[in-house]
Amino acid sequence: MCSGTPTISSVRADSSAQVPETVTPGARLYTLLLPDLRLQGAQINITSAQDPPHFPGPFSIDGQGWLQAPAQGLSGQAPKTFRLHVLVTWGAGRSCGGTLTVRVLSAPSGRVSFPERHRSITIPEDLVPGSEVVQVQARGLDVRYEILSPAPCPFFSIGPADGVIRTTGPLDLALAPGAAVTVLQVKAFERLQPWASVQLELTVNVTPVNRWPPRCHPALLVTQVPETVPVGTVLSTFTCADRDSPASTLDYQLRFHGPPGLPSLCLSGRALKVNATLDCDTPGACFQLAASVLVFDGGQPPMTTEVPVLVTVTPVNEFSPACAPRVFRVREDAGPRTLLGSVAGTDRDYPHDRVQYSSPGGSATFAVDHLSGEVRLLGPLDYEQQRLHRLTVLVTDQRGDRDAAHRRSGSCTVTIEVEDVNDHAPECEPPFQELTIHTSPGRSSEVTKVSCRVPQEPQRLAFSYSIVGGNSQSRFSLRGAVLVHSDGAAGPPLLEQPRTYELLIRAADAGPSAPHLSTTATVIVHVVPWRASTAATSTHRATVPSAGTPLLVTDTEAFWQPEPWFVAALTVTGALLLWTLGWILSGLLRGSARGLQTPSKPAQALRLSSIRGTEGSAEGSTEAPKTETQQAPSSIMGLQHFDGRAQDARESLPPKPLPTWTHCPSFPRLSVSYHQAPTVRSTLSLNGVRSRSHSPSSPRLSNTCGARK
């Protein structure tokens, strides 16, 4: 029906047309008659939707009203019905339209056809060879199938009888990129009438399968960096590739295993960088940074590779130790090992304040403990010689750097002020004075002035003076250092006779130093009263003894007090030495006693006393042989008694008279020798007389005198 125009008789509201499914693609199916010449410039369009899959393709109509079949044809579309709305427009806003129904009729029996002439499928690449891809079926009698193109087909094959398409090789897109899309021309024909055939265009799309995760280099990152590494330093760049899709883009992510906080590392693309300052000087900050780099591919299913990252932050000795100057005060009489104070060194490197102390150059007076920093006194101090000492303390870090050559150090000055101790007593010049004064009644007179000082401390000038002895009747007093004698009416009675006073004046230092030391000066004053000059008689002089006032004298001596362990070691060493000497002495005494207790051997030599004679009178010459004669038997008997037996056991010899001995002035000695053997013959010679015995052992006596009677 057309609005505003005459009705066209050939276009009805419900027109229809019937066409076979074997119609040629693009063939004319129907004609719209437009008899009105005014409509020759009209435009004819199909306004209804022709969307697949219901429509195999769009129907078209030209300006002359010819309806044409789709370019894909209508094969396999039976028994579908297509409703097309046709709109005719001409002139200014004039139009008319109607509905055209196209019915597709089935092909006559005995002809081969596919339900659809074009088909597309998708398969994964991980199908093994021989896997079924799809089955195509055509209508007809005893239909057979074959692949026309590509020929030969490298990836697929079709069953001649069942139309099942199978894979003939691996579809690995990494190895065979051409297998991604394959267009198969499949022909179906009757076995008995091969000219009755039809073709099907089958598109096979192979999708990649994500079988391999990305591979990265390095696969493990273990490194160490110093804590002073700048922010933004690249630690490593990761190179990853996907075997499934080498040209694909990979995604990199960084995941930390530690507690949440400011990340010290960051990932910029494929580069791992330092993101924050790595400070080891904060407790717990210098440790190992554990993280992982995750690499994702874009395949299905998605696969991930994890690259472990372990970054060790090493400390660097950045700061030098320091210590604050100190001032210590010590008395000059302090003893050895006195603690003066301690130096506190600081080090900002971690671990904090691990320092050692030392004194460069060494000091004989002070010592610094290398661990605690305590300053102790070693030698004596003398305020008068040196009041101020300065000690340089060197502070060295102990664990700031493993290399001793890179250790840092600092120094500070310790000032030691020596406090004065009153260790010198005053000395008076002179220490002894003897004076004679003449007194007048009612008058006081100056006797002398005591002058005292401390030679070691010339600056000490304050002293106090007092009379500590000999001031009987209080006739003397002190005005500062001046000794004054008083002889007034209100004072003691007047002297009638001269007297002598032995005064003891103590001079003590009065300064702030303690203890207060003092000395005593002796002043002997002979007092002569004014009446003594008129009396020419005898003068009585009396010496006033000083009172027994005790005098306190302080003497300070320095002594060495050894450590208890040294005393114990010395005692043990002395005891061991005494025991060793006693053992040696006892061994010597036992050896001497054993030698004395051993019986005399037969080989011992006997000494006989020589007989000395005197020359002169005949009586003396006559008595000498007699004396010797009397002594000889006793000597021989003593010798025989010593040997046990003097005779032979086999024969008995009659006793013979002993020969007389003649005094020999030139040879007064008698020698006896003894020889020991199993059987020894000994000869006894007495003035030339020989006697022989066969005893087992017998002495041999020989008289060296040549005369015999």
Phi, psi of 323, rounded to the nearest 5 degrees: -145, 150
3-state helix, strand, coil in the chain (%, to 5): 10, 40, 50
CA proximity to 560, closest of 428, 379, 355, 341: 379
| pLDDT at residue 578, as a whole number | 93
Q: Are 439 and 529 in contact (CB under 8 A)?
A: yes
| pLDDT at residue 513, as a whole number | 64
Indicate the pairing of strand 156-158 with strand 143-149.
unpaired
Phi, psi of 377, rounded to the nearest 5 degrees: -90, 135
Q: Are 350 and 280 in contact (CB under 8 A)?
A: yes
Q: Are 91 and 129 in contact (CB under 8 A)?
A: no
Eight-state DSSP code of residue 304: E
Q: Which domains does the chain have, with CATH numbers?
A: 16-105 (2.60.40.60), 118-207 (2.60.40.60), 215-314 (2.60.40.60), 322-419 (2.60.40.60), 427-529 (2.60.40.60)
Neighbour-count burial for 330-361, b at 16+ CB within 10 Å, e otherwise? bebbbeeeeebbbbbbebebbeeeebbbbbee
CA proximity to 242, closest of 212, 221, 200, 267: 212
Q: What is the mean pLDDT of each run of 10 residues along the chain (709 residues)?
A: 38 70 84 63 83 82 86 82 87 82 72 87 90 91 90 91 92 84 92 82 90 91 90 93 83 81 82 87 74 88 91 86 93 91 89 87 89 92 89 84 74 92 82 86 83 80 86 86 76 76 87 74 87 41 40 53 85 93 91 70 41 38 37 38 45 44 39 38 36 39 37
CA proximity to 198, closest of 187, 208, 209, 210: 187
Phi, psi of 472, rounded to the nearest 5 degrees: -75, 145
* 3-state DSSP of 613-659: CCCCCHHHHHHHHHHHHHHHHHHHHHHHHHHCCCCCCCCCCCCCCCC
Per the structure block, which two tokens stand in for 120?
């597309």
3-state secondary structure of 695: coil
Q: Which H or E run contains 246? A: none
Number of residues written out for the chain = 709
Residue 224, judged by CB atoms within 10 A of its CB (0-12, 13-18, 19+), counts as exposed
3-state secondary structure of 590: helix
Amino acid at 240: C
pTM (whole model) above 0.85 = no
Per the structure block, which two tokens stand in for 471?
């001031």
Separation between Cα atoms, residue 9 and residue 90, nearest integer Å = 17
Q: State the number of CA atoms in the 13 A half-sphere of 6 facing the CB.
A: 9
**DSSP output for 175-187:** T-GGGGEEEEEEE
Instruction: Give the bridge partners for 215, in sequence order.
Output: 241
| pLDDT at residue 668, as a whole number | 38
Separation between Cα atoms, residue 72 and residue 94, nearest integer Å = 34
Helices (H) and strands (E) in the chain, counts: 2, 47
3-state secondary structure of 201: strand
Distances (CA, A) of 638 to 252, 697, 699: 131, 15, 11
Per the structure block, which two tokens stand in for 498?
């001269």
The angle formed by the CA atoms of residues 218, 224 and 227, to the nearest 5 degrees, is 140
Q: State the number of CA atoms in the 13 A half-sphere of 218 facing the CB.
A: 13
Q: In sequence order, which residues have a C-beta less than 8 Å from that of residue 42 and are 6 or more positions away?
A: 34, 63, 88, 89, 90
Omega within 30 of 0 (cis) for the link into 430 = yes
CA proximity to 142, closest of 202, 193, 187, 195: 193
Separation between Cα atoms, residue 124 and residue 130, nearest integer Å = 14
Q: In sequence order, which residues have a C-beta less than 8 Å from that of residue 198 and are 6 or more positions away?
A: 75, 112, 113, 114, 117, 138, 187, 188, 189
Q: Are 139 and 112 in contact (CB under 8 A)?
A: yes
Separation between Cα atoms, residue 192 and residue 169, nearest integer Å = 33
Separation between Cα atoms, residue 111 and residue 23, nearest integer Å = 13
| pLDDT at residue 183, as a whole number | 93
Q: In sequence order, which residues have a C-beta less than 8 Å from that of residue 285 and are 6 or more positions away?
A: 278, 279, 350
CA proximity to 343, closest of 376, 322, 373: 373
Amino acid at 224: Q
Residue linked to tokens 């019915």: 103
- Sheet containing strand 388-397, edge to edge, reads 326-331, 409-419, 388-397, 355-358
Separation between Cα atoms, residue 579 and residue 687, nearest integer Å = 60
Instruction: Give the bridge partners for 701, in sequence order.
Output: 672
Instruction: Give the bridge partners for 524, in sequence order.
Output: 434, 502
Residue 599, judged by CB atoms within 10 A of its CB (0-12, 13-18, 19+), counts as exposed
| pLDDT at residue 403, as a whole number | 62
| pLDDT at residue 541, as a whole number | 37
| pLDDT at residue 157, as a whole number | 94
Q: Are 206 and 128 in contact (CB under 8 A)?
A: no
Instruction: Give the bridge partners for 165, in sequence order.
Output: 134, 158
Eight-state DSSP code of residue 290: E
Separation between Cα atoms, residue 323 and residue 345, nearest integer Å = 4
Q: In sequence order, which residues have a C-beta less than 8 Å from that of residue 317 and are 6 or more positions away?
A: 349, 397, 400, 401, 406, 407, 408
